[in-house]
Amino acid sequence: MARILVLGAGFAGLWAALGAARKRDEIGAPAAEVEILVVDRNAYHNIRVRNYEVDLSEVALPLAGLLDPVGVSHMVAEAEAIDPAKRQVTIKTGSGQKEVLGYDRLVLTTGSELVRPAIPGLAVHGFDVDTYAAAVRLDQHLAALGRQAPSTGRSTVVVVGAGFTGIEVAAEMPDKLARAGIDSGRRIILVDPNPVVGATFGAHGRPVIDQALSVLGVETRLNVRVAAVAAAGLTLSSGEIIPARTVVWCAGMRASPLAASLPAARDGLGRLAVDPYMRVEGLTGVFAAGDVASSLIDGQHATVMSCQFARPMGRFAGHNVVADLYGEPLLPLHIDWYVTVLDLGGWGALYTTGWDREVHTTGAAAKVTKQTINHQRIYPPRGGDRAALLAAAAPTIQAAPPTRP
């Protein structure tokens, strides 16, 4: 029996596994001939882009409900090392036991992780929304604060990093605090070393973001870094001390460290260069997709770490890994559109188009698009319908999100 090993069950990994199952089905190969095995440190697929939201009830979907119906095996374990020469991966299971898994083809989809610099106190006192577990921990902390009597810093949240994630966290925070019962004296402060909020949004989108944050009452501290974090607050490089019981770190992403265990070229974010078929350049039998990989998606621009690219990269990696195993032609992935839809909480959202991020729609209209994306477009079919799961994994390109439902 041949084995296709998929490491990671996020947006790229889930869709790679489903895409591989779909292609296996199309070829007519039985599961007993080609095993598709998914390894993830969690037993769920995290709709990671929703980890900043108030309602986390549907952002961790059990893998069993998505993979069992299509005959894909899955196990919970930490992938620790890859040996591409021997075609082996070392994993550690929940009981702490190490195992070596062989493979015929590997699909690396272990995503990215938040960069956590060695700032005094950050590891102990900082919160984040990088994973489902971290998002739940933040919500539990806010709920616990909500049950306490008002005190200095109880109602103040500092969000560090005014990029995509930090802006979404800050804009959603009024509603999160309200849900935690923290209404009076509320302060939300967005901190960034850049001179502007949303530096990568360019001149078009920034005024919209500034307006939304101002309406939401989000304060900013720009041109400063965090010097230290403590339980009662944080100290900025400017010398300012902000009493705050909640500090949410949102500054910077890096590719999964597993990418570095492969003898292949990586970019400044630690991502592996993949060709249009999602094959890791310079290695045989190894595919990669999602945040751990970088592809020239329109022949000109490198993919951005996003579910927008991770999902199609995953579908094509899954299709191609099976095609490769059976000596069939591979399909290149080429996407000629790029958009961003930034959630701005109770104010609405910002929808930009193109690599220059021209403003397309704002406010309530853009929010409709954001909610359609977050609640429908990026979800796999639920309910265990095998045919629906396989059909959704076809190696096709979706159109850009519509501006009206």
What minimum distance in Å lies between the beta carbon of 313 and ligand FAD? 8
Say how far apart CA 283 and CA 263 lie, in whole Å: 8
Query: What type of residue sits at position 382?
Result: R
Q: Which is nearer to ligand FAD, 154 or 287 (CB)?
A: 287
Query: Among residues 291, 294, 367, 395, which is the contact residue for ligand FAD, using CB under 6 A?
Result: 291
Query: Among residues 78, 219, 298, 328, which is the contact residue for ligand FAD, using CB under 6 A?
Result: 78
Q: Tell me how far CA of residue 268 lies from CA of 22, 25, 53, 280, 374, in angstroms.
A: 34, 38, 29, 16, 29
DSSP string across 80-102: EEEETTTTEEEEEETTS-EEEEE
Query: Among residues 38, 66, 236, 310, which is the contact residue for ligand FAD, using CB under 6 A?
Result: 310
**Length reported for the chain:** 405
| Count of residues in contact with ligand FAD, rule CB under 6 A | 35
Contact between 46 and ligand FAD by CB under 6 A: the answer reads yes
Structure tokens at 279: 């094959």
CA 272, 276, 282, 288 dihedral sign is positive
Q: Which is nearer to ligand FAD, 21 or 79 (CB)?
A: 79
Query: Among residues 5, 18, 40, 242, which is the contact residue for ligand FAD, using CB under 6 A?
Result: 40
Beta strands 241-243 and 233-236: pairing type?
A: antiparallel
- Candidates 11, 111, 24; CA nearest to 73 is 24
Q: Which stretch binds ligand FAD (CB under 6 A): 46-54, 138-146, 201-209, 264-272?
A: 46-54
Q: Which is nearer to ligand FAD, 11 or 347 (CB)?
A: 11
What minimum distance in Å lies between the beta carbon of 9 and ligand FAD? 5
- Candidates 337, 336, 295, 327; CA nearest to 314 is 295
Query: Among residues 6, 49, 70, 349, which is the contact residue for ligand FAD, using CB under 6 A?
Result: 49
Query: Among residues 34, 59, 109, 244, which is the contact residue for ligand FAD, using CB under 6 A?
Result: 109
The contact mask relative to ligand FAD for 244-273 (x = CB under 6 A, - = no) is: ------------x-x---------------
Q: How far apart are the first and last CA of the chain?
A: 46
Q: Residue written as tokens 């339980």?
A: 231
The contact mask relative to ligand FAD for 168-207 (x = CB under 6 A, - = no) is: x---------------------------------------
What lies within 8 Å, CB to CB, of 338 at 6+ separation is 297, 298, 301, 304, 308, 353, 354, 355
Say if CB 286 and CB 106 are below 8 A apart: yes
Contact between 361 and ligand FAD by CB under 6 A: the answer reads no
Contact between 130 and ligand FAD by CB under 6 A: the answer reads yes
Residues in contact with ligand FAD by CB under 6 A are 8-13, 39-42, 46, 48-49, 51-52, 78-79, 109-112, 129-130, 165, 168, 256, 258, 290-292, 305-308, 310
